[in-house]
Amino acid sequence: MASEGWPLHSVLTEHHEVLAVVSRRTLIVLSIVWIAGALKAGLFIRDAQDVVSRVDEQAIEAFSRDKKFVDIAGWRVAYVDRGSGEPIVLLHGCPFQSFEYSKGIPSLAHHYRVIAPDLLGLGDTIVRLDDDYRLPNQVRMVVGLLDWLGIGRAHFVGHDHGGAIVQLMMNSHIVAAIRLGFGGRLRVVPSVADLHVTAEVAPGVSLDVDQFVRRAEARGIVVNTLADFSAEASPRAGLVLGYGAIPTENVDEGLRRLARCFR
């Protein structure tokens, strides 16, 4: 109830005006805070070609001081290289760095050559402010690093972001093997999220896909027909090869066994 001498509509009007003033002030304060935070975070980049960090910067801990650096595809990649023997590649998650594996690397180095890079945009790897850190470039960087180190085969451990990179690397390897080793009888087509390899029977090739699946199963490899995953009334002839279909201990041998199913 409005107090005597103060009409109700006057009280409400004054109340709304006070709220409007407070809202404007709050908006101004929040805008100033956001702009200040954005400036500090580097949202407004003056020189997009500048780098995020430099080799000569003071490392914050001993682990970083032991890292090596190499130029890969325009990136200055920081990585750990310890131990000897079969190589094992440790790919960290986001938003972390190879320090994630710092407690396990000494033990692994007694048995393996441990390679642990800092992924693009993370850790001590040097990138430009306008660089593209998406997964395809992460794969390019990891493959480029392994090529530079002369590593053709390795064990992989991937966490989070690193696990996705390993999946894409597996996909690329299997796709390349199908294209090179299957005599053009299968044509690889895009698959959802690259979590499996989908291949159509190439034009002009006669292949009983159901019989092919049975031959593969007899060799210990699980393959599905494209029809099993298609909602089409007349699905295309083809095969779906999940990552688990190839024995992980020897992908190349598994693919060779799969190729023999054509005979």
Residue 247's pLDDT is what? 55
Query: What letter does residue 233 receive in the DSSP assignment?
Result: S
Residue 246's pLDDT is what? 59
Indicate whether 226 belongs to any domain: yes
* Domain final position from 166, 194, 210: 166
| Residue type at 42 in one-letter notation | G
Looking at the whole model, is its pTM more than 0.85? Answer: no
What is the rounded distance in angstroms from the CA atom of residue 218 to the CA atom of residue 222? Answer: 9
End-to-end CA distance of the chain: 93
pLDDT in tens, 58-106: 656 788 888 999 999 989 999 999 999 999 999 999 989 999 999 999 9
Indicate whether 130 belongs to any domain: yes
Which CATH number fits the domain that encloses residue 67? 3.40.50.1820
- Co-location of 132 and 195 in the same domain: no
- Co-location of 23 and 76 in the same domain: no
Indicate whether 143 belongs to any domain: yes
Q: Are 198 and 189 in contact (CB under 8 A)?
A: yes
Residue 2's pLDDT is what? 46
- Co-location of 71 and 23 in the same domain: no
Question: What residue numbers bound the domain in which 249 lies?
Answer: 182-262
Indicate whether 8 belongs to any domain: no
Residue 133's pLDDT is what? 87
Indicate whether 146 belongs to any domain: yes
Indicate whether 5 belongs to any domain: no
User: Can you give the C-alpha Rg of the chain in angstroms?
Assistant: 28
Indicate whether 104 belongs to any domain: yes
- Co-location of 160 and 200 in the same domain: no
Which CATH number fits the domain that encloses residue 243? 3.90.1150.10
Indicate whether 245 belongs to any domain: yes
Residue 44's pLDDT is what? 60
What is the rounded distance in angstroms from the CA atom of residue 115 to the CA atom of residue 89? Answer: 5
Low-confidence ranges of the chain (pLDDT < 50): 1-3
* Domain final position from 117, 136, 166: 166
Q: Compute CA distances 114 → 22, 64, 76, 95, 199, whole Å.
A: 59, 15, 19, 21, 35
- Co-location of 74 and 158 in the same domain: yes
Task: Say how many domains are in the chain.
Answer: 3
- Co-location of 80 and 160 in the same domain: yes
- Co-location of 189 and 250 in the same domain: yes
* Domain final position from 135, 166, 197: 166
- Co-location of 138 and 224 in the same domain: no
